[in-house]
């Protein structure tokens, strides 16, 4: 299995570049102050170098993304750092399925992530970035 240092989404949805990704604290659905992890799974990233133990950085063009890992099934994907959490194993077009958080059907995203429509070989999906 090959791992990509910086995953590139097809159709201009992603780009590899160094840029600053702000990390602002916010609250979860119960009003608790929650901060997104600074390193590892689900941490914000603009390049793979920021991901440490997670080998992939995936993001839309000119926006922050998240650190993740490859997967074969959803069982390979960890829960998010805060609810709501809908882990999924998705192929974004490079035949390298990766863990992501699905926000389809109004499921929502954990604090400090946003729901973004993404084109995949299986059709459009909504994922948290």
Q: Which residue has the higher pLDDT, 85 or 115?
A: 115
The predicted model gives 21-35 an average pLDDT of 52
pLDDT class of 52 with cuts at 50, 70, 90: confident
Query: Each residue of 79-106: pLDDT tens digit?
Result: 988 877 789 999 988 888 999 999 988 8
pLDDT at 40 over 60: yes
Give the CA count within 13 Å in the CB-facing half-sphere of 25. Answer: 5
Domain ranges of the chain: 39-128
Could you give the CA distance from residue 33 to residue 45 in angstroms, rounded to a whole number? Answer: 21
Work out the angle at residue 75's Cα, subtended by the Cα atoms of residues 100 and 105, and round it to the nearest 5 degrees: 45
Q: Say what the pTM is.
A: 0.73
Q: Is 14 helix (H, G, I), strand (E, B) or coil?
A: coil
pLDDT class of 8 with cuts at 50, 70, 90: very low
């Amino acid at each position: 299995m090959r791992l990509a240092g910086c995953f590139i989404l097809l159709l201009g949805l992603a780009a590899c570049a160094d840029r600053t990704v702000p990390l602002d604290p916010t609250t979860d659905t119960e009003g608790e102050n929650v901060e997104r992890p600074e390193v590892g799974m689900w941490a914000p990233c603009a390049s793979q170098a920021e991901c440490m133990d997670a080998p992939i950085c995936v993001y839309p063009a000119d926006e922050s993304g998240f650190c993740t890992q490859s997967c074969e099934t959803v069982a390979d994907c960890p829960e998010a750092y805060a609810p709501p959490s809908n882990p999924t194993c998705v192929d974004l077009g490079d035949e390298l399925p990766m863990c992501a958080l699905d926000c389809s059907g109004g499921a929502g995203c954990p604090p400090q992530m946003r729901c973004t429509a993404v084109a995949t070989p299986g059709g459009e999906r909504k994922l948290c970035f």
